[in-house]
Amino acid sequence: MRICAIIPARGGSKGVPRKNIRLLAGKPLVAYTIEQALQARQVSRTIVSTEDAEIAKVARQYGAEVVMRPPELATDTASAESVLLHVLSLLEQTEGYLPSMLVLLQPTSPLRKPDDIDNAIDTLNAAGADSLFSCCRSYNFYWRWEDGQLISANYDYRDRPRRQDFTPEYIENGSIYVTKTEILKQHENRLGGRISLYEMDPLDSLQIDTEEDFLLLEQLLPLRHQRQAIEKLKGVELLVLDFDGVLTDNHVLVSQDGKESIVCHRGDGLGIERLRQEGIPVVVISKEANPVVSARCHKLGIPCFQNAADKLSVLKQAAKAHNVDLDKVAYVGNDVNDIACIGAVGVGVAVADAHPMVIAVADIVMQAAGGSGAVREICDLILESRRPNEGE
């Protein structure tokens, strides 16, 4: 089954100007949705539809394909359905490509969990449905004005039910829509045929439509990221690090006599020291054969494997030497030659400025960039995951 994710991201948002590429916790808003789509196992293509050159550039940087839409489909009144149909028509005309199913993802909903998209598709298939929307459950009591009178809309205020007896209602959260292509073409609507729903947590349903929403999520995202990371890192017994772009900022200073120098973050060294004090070994694997790598690792007191053309083989050797199963290893990388290692271990980690393909397969993405405290961040999170919960 060919499933295509389409992310509509126009440049002319008015409530929050340039909303789709505005930075949220240091990353463009649309990037969150692109990364989630790329991580979905069942999605074979991820396409951003936009009329804006800057949005198109950001989308490509994060690994999405881009379809440029005409100006008439980038107005306030243009429907999402018209955008979906435009992408479908263009792909069919230019490539002969027609997916069996579409996933519409709004970039204003950045809090999807990594498996929400796959779970939504599975829900549609299990229900034998033709289309599906994501939602959150509501037990709210609603009122409305009718002919000048204020009336209780979904309950009788004279016989107020208890919450546990109240029939729940479901609110579309705008995050995920899954539609069979034939249904979209037939009805020109994202919903049609047999409709099902995919329920999400109210917190994950938050959308960004106002400046206040941006402020709220700026505070929420780091806390949410830390909570998810700590849960994944429980049980890690070995930390393995790439060198360039992880312990450094991926730059190298070359003097006129050819000697190379790098810049490292002192906080990373302290993080590694604290981790080793807790009995968790740290190993560096580097593709480079450079004295600066061994010098830095010697100062940190950790072993390093250099000139590692096949990083995965070296990773397996390091895990075996420490008598640690791969599912108890965390690996931190930043570029495409780290992808195999990230996929082989229990917890694959990408630094914040990693290549989009690395971010797409990582279990955790750091808030800090390589050489700017990312290693300290992962060390602190591993230590935090080993602390007993309150009440234990």
pLDDT 10s digits, 40-60: 999 999 999 999 999 999 999
Residue 392 predicted with pLDDT over 60:
no
First to last CA, the chain: 47
Residue 189 predicted with pLDDT over 80:
yes
Q: What is the mean pLDDT of residues 150-172?
A: 88
Average pLDDT, the chain: 91
pLDDT recorded at residue 254: 77
Percent of the chain with pLDDT over 70: 99
pLDDT recorded at residue 54: 96
DSSP code of residue 345: S
Residue 98 predicted with pLDDT over 50:
yes
Q: How many CB atoms lie within 10 A of CB 193?
A: 15
pLDDT recorded at residue 390: 45
Q: How many CB atoms lie within 10 A of CB 203?
A: 10
pLDDT recorded at residue 42: 96
Residue 391 predicted with pLDDT over 60:
no
Task: Give the pLDDT band (50/70/90) at residue 261.
Answer: confident
Residue 290 predicted with pLDDT over 60:
yes
Query: Which whole-number Å values give the CA distances from 294 to 204, 240, 263, 288, 302, in the listed order?
Result: 44, 15, 14, 10, 9
pLDDT recorded at residue 363: 85
Q: What is the mean pLDDT of residues 180-190?
A: 96
Residue 341 predicted with pLDDT over 70:
yes
245: phi > 0 → left, psi -120 to 50 → alpha, else beta; which? Answer: left
pLDDT recorded at residue 165: 83
Residue 182 predicted with pLDDT over 50:
yes
pLDDT recorded at residue 103: 98
CA 49 – CA 55 distance, rounded (Å): 9
Q: What is the mean pLDDT of residues 116-120?
A: 97
**pLDDT: which is higher, 285 or 222:** 285
- Domains delineated in the chain: 3-209 (3.90.550.10), 235-385 (3.40.50.1000)
- Least confident among 99-108, 270-279, 299-308, 382-391: 382-391
Residue 26 predicted with pLDDT over 90:
no
